[in-house]
Structure formats: C-alpha cells, structure tokens
Amino acid sequence: MKTLVWVEHDNAEMKDATLAAVTAASKLGEVHLIVAGSGCRAVAEQAAKVAGVGKVHLADDAAYEHVLAENVAPLIADQMGHHDAFVAPATTTGKNIAPRVAALLDVMQISDILSVEGEKTFTRPIYAGNAIATVESSDAKLVITVRGTAFDKAATEGGSGTIEEISGPADAGLSSFVSAEIAESDRPELTSAKVIVSGGRALKDGETFEQIITPLADKLGAGIGASRAAVDAGYVPNDYQVGQTGKIVAPEVYIAIGISGAIQHLAGMKDSKTIIAINKDEDAPIFQVADIGLVADLFKAVPELTEKL
Amino acid sequence: MKILVPVKRVIDYNVKPRVKADGSGVDLANVKMSMNPFDEIAVEEAIRIKEAGKAEEIIAVSIGPAKAQETLRTALAMGVDRAILVETDDEVEPLAVAKILKAIAEEETAGIVMLGKQAIDDDSNQTGQMLAALMGRPQGTFANTVEVDGDSVTVKREVDGGLETVKLTLPAIVTTDLRLNEPRYASLPNIMKAKKKPLDTKSPSDYGVDTAPRLKTTNVSEPPVRQAGEKVEDVDALVAKIKALGIA
C-alpha cells in the first residue's frame, strides 16, 4: 500500500505531530509525504530525513500558505490518484482538511486511530474514550487521522527521501486568512511535553494559578495544562485545556494539582505514563487513576515541593 | 438568509456509557438521550444571528429514529422556526449524513449551515467538513466567534496553540466549538409553542442517498483500566518519588 502522510508545519519547521502519523502509516506500507505551504522548502528537506520516508511531495504556492482546507483538500485529492491511503495527524489542521479530502474521494474517514490492526482495520476511541471500537473499511482508498499519543514518533534522522515538486488547483477563492493569535512561549507544547503540570478550579484565580503552578513547571521544564473548570472560570486561556473537549496528552509524568478528576478531564490524560495527584479531598476521583497521590492543601504543599526539588 | 442547523440525538453527556458484554456496541436501552451539546451551541448561534437581524429563518434537521423528533422539538423550543426529520432506524455515517444535508441545504438555499464540530457518541468530527466539500463551499471549523457581514462570514477558529480568523464567502458551513456561546434554556411557554411549529418527516430515499455503511464495527470494548497507585505521607516522600522518576 502507498500512503501519503500530511506534514504538519508552520512553513519554517516540521511539527512533531507528523512523526506519529509516519509511524502509523509505516504499518500500512510505503510512506510518502506531502508538504503544502508557501516558502516551505526547508520543511520538505527536514521531512525527507525522517526515517523510512520515500518521496516528499512539495507543493509550494501562495495559495497553500495558511493551509486553507478549500485550497489544500483538492490538491491532496489529486495526489490520491496514485496513493492508497491519506494519513494525517489528528491535530486541528488534520481534522480540518482530512474529512474534506475524504468527501472529495467519496470515502468514509476513520478518525483518531489508536492502532493499526490490519490493512483496513483500526481501533479508535468513541464516547470520549469510554469505549474502543474496532472498525474495518470497505472503501477502495483510506483516509485516516492519527491520535498522536497512541504511536511512537518516527526518528527525525536516517531517512533519505527524495523531494518532488508538485502543483495543484489554484486558490479556490472561497475563503481567506485574516489573522492568527498564537501564544508565543518557550514552554514545551502540551501535546509533546515530557512533563505536564496541570491546575484545576481549586487554584482560586488566574493570579494564584500563575503563582502556584508556574514555578513548579519552570523547575521541571514542564508544559502547563488546566482542567476545563479552570478554563471556564477564566484562570487560563482555552488552549491550556486538557480533556475530552481540549487536548489529549500522554506525557511521561502528569502532575494534577487541585483537579478533582471529572470523566471529561481523565479522557484527556489517562494515557500518561505516571500520574501524580495533589488534592486536599482524599476521595477525589483523580486518586483512582493516580500512581502517586498526596492528600494535602495545595497552597502549602506545592510551594514546598517546588522548593525541595 | 436561511440558516440550516443539523442536530443529532445522542446519549446525554452526563451519562457514563456502558459497553455491552458481547462487544456489539454501547448499551443505549433506557439511557437518557439529549441533543448533542455542540449542536445545541449551533442552534443558539443561529438564533443569535437571527435576533441580530441577519437571518430570516432557521430550519433544524435531524437524521435518525422517530424519537429524534424530541431533539427537534427542543430546537424549536429554543427558537428554531421549523424542522425536518429524515427518519431512519439505521446508523447513518457522516459521509451519508453530509450527502442528505447537501440535498436539503440546496433545496432550502441555506446561506449558512451551522453544526456541531463533532457528536459525542462516535466522535468523528467529519460531517461539516464533508458537507462543505460536497457542496464546494468554504468551511469555518471549530468556531469560537462568528460574525455575519453581508455576503461573507468571519469565523475565529480554535486551533492548536491559539486562535485563527478566516473570512468565508457565503453560502458557508460553520462548525461550532465549546466557547462560542452558552445555549439558552427553553422556557415553558416556548416549549408549548414549539409543539405547534411545523415538523416535516422525510426518508433518506427522498433525497436519493444510499446510507449503506462503509465502515463495519467488528468489536466495541472497554478501554484499559488504570489502577490506583499509592498515597504518600508528605511532601518529602513525594520529592523522593519525583526524583526517582528522573525528571528533577
């Protein structure tokens, strides 16, 4: 089977989310990549070095700069004439474009796969991860999105892919990019952080959240997350949110502070390798999934922990 | 302008789904069902656009069993003008749903199709994007803010790392994310009034759509269960544990 994997990037650098999709695709067959953007040749060069990669299809055109689905989906659909599966990471970009590609090909997409069980058989979470379905496709072509935490990342070195320039349909003229507000931070991104320190509603307000959570995260070089309750209460912006309706994370260590452990939060972090919980309520559901728990007042315990580490 | 709002009847979001012992699916017998929460947000947003004088009529559509009428009545009670039930007892996949919606959107000449970004049962997150592709129209997915202005709609989208704003030429498809709005509750008088609002019943074949599934679910199982670990006595013990993990 020949697969075409979507390379996630910002026109300058390839994003890590690509690497799990490469691993998933490699279980199906040959791995080819597609880089669509503007002034993004450096991304294609990076992508060509990923272990196990064959061809890198580079579509460098102003029409693809902001990866508008209206322009990029027809480009990908064209390339599917000579590929059998389109594989994208289940990022907001992947989720935006893959179903549009699937519909152009008259294919039912398989979303957010957790494993490859056979040539056309996959597992995927349903009901917010409360159940795992095994599904088999009867379509001639496959369109798949991949849950990044479920697959190892392919190595970024060792590959010797060849770059081939391609072109596709021009700007569809249906949509235009206006602006982006992307938070600039030196902190690791939640979905790729090795350690995450997360805070809940118990943190009281935005200022206290910052005072308690940030020093500990700094000490551990950790990403900062939050429960939906903390986001709803306005302590932190929405892109901090870990859970069914936010980001799905699986770091080496997840430290939940003042988080009770609602189903919706657990759905986003229960695949973390080690879960540490600090909460003053010893009956909080978070302790049912935590490997290490400390029943304590977080306002005393967390600063003490930060100091002693 | 007309706004078409597709709504889905799903397990209530407060109910913990139970997997059937024979692996055939999730047990929905005697379980509370409600409107998909993301669709509720779509209904609310459509009503707000109408209240702002930028739309004349809102039509809700549901594709599902006879009981999906209840979901449509909820939408009507919130402020939708009329409803269409495309009745079927089969499970209809997003691709076939998108094909039926395309037929209805064209028949109704909808300016905006506003729908939830995903249903909380199958978690596919596909229907809106597929509909946009089939209609050859632009899509504003995961909307945080929606601003209708003349013949275009500006959508601020929730994306990894922040927000992105795009401008779409109408007709367009918009899918809603959680922060877009807080849906209203239907008042009792409005619930009574909703009973008299028009609700048409159709079938998938009326739109010439084949709903045969492309995916076969061969098994549904419980996710692996995590075991609780140990509780430590104090911060010093926690420090020792964290050091042993090699992260500090």
Q: Is the pLDDT of residue A301 over 90?
A: yes
Closest-approach residue (CA) in chain A for B157? A180
B160/A304 touch (CB, cutoff 8 Å), yes or no: no
The residue written with tokens 């959240």 in the block is A209
Q: Write down the pLDDT at residue A45.
A: 97
Residues from chain B contacting residue A107 (CB–CB below 8 Å): 95, 214
Instruction: Judge whether A2-165 and A190-308 match in fold.
Output: yes
A112/B123 touch (CB, cutoff 8 Å), yes or no: yes
Q: Can you give the residue ranges of every domain in chain A? A: 2-165, 190-308
* Token code pair at residue A262: 């609602």
A103/B134 touch (CB, cutoff 8 Å), yes or no: yes
Distance CA A33, CA A138 (A): 24
* DSSP secondary structure of A206-262: HHHHHHHHHHHHHHHT-EEEE-HHHHHTTSS-GGGBBSTTSB----SEEEEES----
What ipTM describes this predicted complex? Answer: 0.94
Listed in sequence order, the residues at least 6 apart from A107 whose beta carbon sits closer than 8 Å to its beta carbon are A139, A140, A141, A142, A143, B95, B214
The DSSP output letter for B1 is -
State in Å, rounded, how far the first CA of chain B is from the last one.
59
Q: Write down the pLDDT at residue B231.
A: 93
Which of A124, A130, A271, A288 has the highest number of chain B CBs within 10 A, making it the mutation to test binding with B?
A: A130
Question: pLDDT tens for residues B89-108?
Answer: 999 999 999 999 999 999 99
A-B C-beta contacts closer than 8 Å: 248
pTM: 0.92
Q: Is the pLDDT of residue A163 over 90?
A: yes
Instruction: Read off the pLDDT of each residue in B238-243 and give the average, rounded to a whole number.
Output: 94
The CATH H-level superfamily of A2-165 is HUPs (3.40.50.620)
Q: pLDDT confidence of A189, banded at 50, 70, 90?
A: confident
Order of strands, edge to edge, in the sheet holding A30-37?
A110-113, A142-146, A85-89, A2-6, A30-37, A53-60, A162-165
Host H or E run for residue B39? helix B37-51
B123/A111 touch (CB, cutoff 8 Å), yes or no: yes
Listed in sequence order, the residues at least 6 apart from A244 whose beta carbon sits closer than 8 Å to its beta carbon are A128, A129, A263, A264, A265, A267, A268
Using a pLDDT cut of 70, give the percent of chain A over it.
Answer: 100
A252 part of contact set with chain B, CB < 8 Å: yes
Instruction: Read off the pLDDT of each residue in A215-230 and give the average, rounded to a whole number.
Output: 94
Closest-approach residue (CA) in chain B for A305? B235
Distance CA B11, CA B18 (A): 11
State in Å, rounded, how far the first CA of chain A is from the last one.
50
Distance CA A68, CA A95 (A): 12
Using a pLDDT cut of 70, give the percent of chain B over it.
Answer: 100
Distance CA B230, CA B170 (A): 57
Question: pLDDT tens for residues A229-269?
Answer: 999 899 998 889 998 777 889 899 999 999 999 888 998 89
Residue A135 annotated as lining a ligand binding site = no
Amino acid, res. B83: A
Instruction: Read off the pLDDT of each residue in B200-211 and give the average, rounded to a whole number.
Output: 97
Asked if residue A168 lies in contact with residue A78, where contact means CB atoms within 8 angstroms, the answer is yes
Question: pLDDT tens for residues A10-19?
Answer: 999 999 999 9
How many angstroms away from the CA of B43 is the closest CA of chain A? Answer: 19
Domains of chain B (ranges, CATH numbers): 2-244 (3.40.50.620)
Q: pLDDT confidence of B15, banded at 50, 70, 90?
A: confident
Residues from chain B contacting residue A121 (CB–CB below 8 Å): 218
Amino acid, res. A167: S
Amino acid, res. A56: V
Q: Write down the pLDDT at residue B248.
A: 75
Cα-based distances in Å from B223 to A89, A132, A202: 21, 6, 29
Q: Is the pLDDT of residue B161 over 90?
A: no
Q: Is the pLDDT of residue B196 over 90?
A: yes
Q: Write down the pLDDT at residue B178.
A: 85
Residues from chain B contacting residue A68 (CB–CB below 8 Å): 166
Residue A41 annotated as lining a ligand binding site = no
Question: pLDDT tens for residues A259-290?
Answer: 999 888 998 898 899 999 999 999 999 999 99
Residue A124 annotated as lining a ligand binding site = no
Amino acid, res. A67: V
Using a pLDDT cut of 90, give the percent of chain A over it.
Answer: 86
Q: pLDDT confidence of B192, banded at 50, 70, 90?
A: very high
The residue written with tokens 């994208």 in the block is A88
Q: Taking all residues of chain B, what is their mean pLDDT, rounded to a whole number?
A: 95
Question: pLDDT tens for residues A78-89?
Answer: 999 999 999 999
How many angstroms away from the CA of A30 is the closest CA of chain B? Answer: 23
Asked if residue A65 lies in contact with residue A37, where contact means CB atoms within 8 angstroms, the answer is yes
Q: Write down the pLDDT at residue A27.
A: 98
- The angle, 0 to 180 degrees and rounded to 10, between the axes of the packed helices A69-79 and A92-104 is 60
Q: pLDDT confidence of B70, banded at 50, 70, 90?
A: very high
Q: pLDDT confidence of A184, banded at 50, 70, 90?
A: confident
B168/A136 touch (CB, cutoff 8 Å), yes or no: no
Cis previous bond, A188, omega within 30: no
Q: Taking all residues of chain A, what is their mean pLDDT, rounded to a whole number?
A: 94
Q: Write down the pLDDT at residue A248.
A: 85
CATH architecture, domain A190-308: 3-Layer(aba) Sandwich (3.40)
The DSSP output letter for A308 is H
What three-state secondary structure class fits A35?
A: strand
